[in-house]
Structure 1
Amino acid sequence: MTTKADKIRALALAGYLRTEIATHLDIRYQHVRQVLERSGIDLGRSRGDPAGAAPATRKAVVKAVTSTVMVAPPYPVERLIEAGFSRLGQWALVSDDAFELDCIVPADPGVYVFVVDSVIRYIGLTQRGLRGRMGHYVRGHSRQRTSARVKGLILAALGAGSRVEILIATPEATEWRGLPVLTAPGLEAGLIRMIQPEWNMQGIRA
């Protein structure tokens, strides 16, 4: 189990209360609730929930989710900075269901990266302007499925006390044998393929 969300779901299915899950994983109750609701798991509200796991099974699950798992180290954020990305700012929680940016966003098109506690979680592209795209995440309209999904992930991360930072790059267009080449879409696609950020991969699997 390599993600905290996986651990939350496993503990809930093993019969643990949401308050117990929050304590075991040292996270906020709100984070547990949001993960379970997004996963369609309506368990852990009370002891009467039909989880049905025996005590021995419950202990085994806790041991599994709290043990150290050897995983590949995250792609270093500083490598993106060295390549030309710049730190724009970070999301700030203003209420249980809303957040805002702590900086002014440029109107230029480009590639953006969401970094949660120094781990790259999402890479996106906008050809209409970074300012407008960040506004999509703030509003999270249901018609914009990806924006709404990522908004929920940002809220969950902020609710858990994580820092969600934004990096941006605005690469110039180039050409190939006299033909125009848009660099930003290729940069986004290449980074997603190389890094495989968790939030991008969730969208592909959905």
Structure 2
Amino acid sequence: MDAIRTTKASQIRALAADGMATADIARQLGIRYQHAYHVLKRSGIDPKVVTASPPLPIPKRQPEKPPLPVSVLTEGGFAYAGLWSLSPTEDLITDFALPKEVGVYAFVKAGFAIYVGVATMGIAKRLYFYGRPGITQRTSQRLNAAIKEELRRAAMIEIYVAFPSDLEWNGLPVHGSAGLELGLIKRYALPWNMRSAG
């Protein structure tokens, strides 16, 4: 009986020396936690200090998304629609009348898209709310401030638009504009799109 206890005690001490936590030692040897705890305590090893666990796996780093050049937008069917500018009263305005159709829009700075969005109410109406956001429209307020800040720095923010067709999948409707917006967000780095970071 003493030989078995000595063997278990030496196993407990050896596993602790390898950095195994007291609870893990008890589990591995099929003994009570208290038994492992007392063996370590009598051996002069603080059982509370022996808490090393196996290293956590290093998460795979997501590959960085590439930027979205305006050339990719235009090759994919987007067309230039105008520029954002500031009125004398510091309101956001566009230099051309925007289309009223449902579609996807992109804000472009220095040749790269920085934001894409879908306008289910029509592009002109959606972009109107960026110029005059309501108090509950957080995205419109955030982009209103971002666009104004860029324009005050003398940056140009161009607007590109596209009108993808709606589709069908297994007899079910697929919204073309919503699908295009999400596809661009998932594939490209768009700094003003919150979902593009994830």
Same fold, judged at TM 0.5 (above): yes
> Structure 1, residues 7-45: CA drift from partner, whole Å, max 9, x if none?
xxxxxxxxxxxxxxxxxxxxxxxxxxxxxxxxxxxxxxx
- Say yes or no: does 1:126 pair with 2:131: no
CA distance in 2 between counterparts of 1:123 and 1:73 reads 15
Structure index of larger Rg: 2
1:76 aligns with 2:69: yes
Q: Normalized against structure 2, the TM-score is what? A: 0.63
Q: CA-to-partner distance for each residue in 1:30-89, whole Å, 9 max, x for gaps?
A: xxxxxxxxxxxxxxxxxxxxxxxxxxxxxxxxxxxxxxxxx9863221111011011101
Using the size of structure 1 for normalisation, the TM-score is: 0.60
Instruction: Report the count of equivalent residues.
Output: 135
- Three-state SS of the structure 2 residue aligned to 1:122 is strand
Q: Take 1:72 and 1:145, find their aligned partners in 2: how far apart are those partners?
A: 26
Distance 1:112 1:202 in 2: 16
Instruction: Give aligned-pair identity as a percent.
Output: 37
* Match of residue 162, structure 1, among 155, 158, 171: 155
Residue 66 of structure 1 corresponds to: none
The aligned counterpart of 2:145 is 152
Given the alignment of the two structures, is residue 138 of structure 1 paired with residue 116 of structure 2, yes or no? no
- Residue number in structure 2 paired with 1:184: 177
Counting helix residues as a fraction of each chain, which structure ranks higher? 1
Contact 1:96–1:159 (8 Å) recurs in 2: no
Deviates more, 1:188-197 or 1:88-97: 88-97
Point out where structure 2 has 5 or more consecutive residues left out of the alignment.
1-63
Pairing 1:54-69 to 2, within 5 Å after superposition: none
Tell me the equivalent position of 2:32: none
Q: Give the distance between the partners of 2:164 and 2:68, measured in 1 at CA.
A: 21
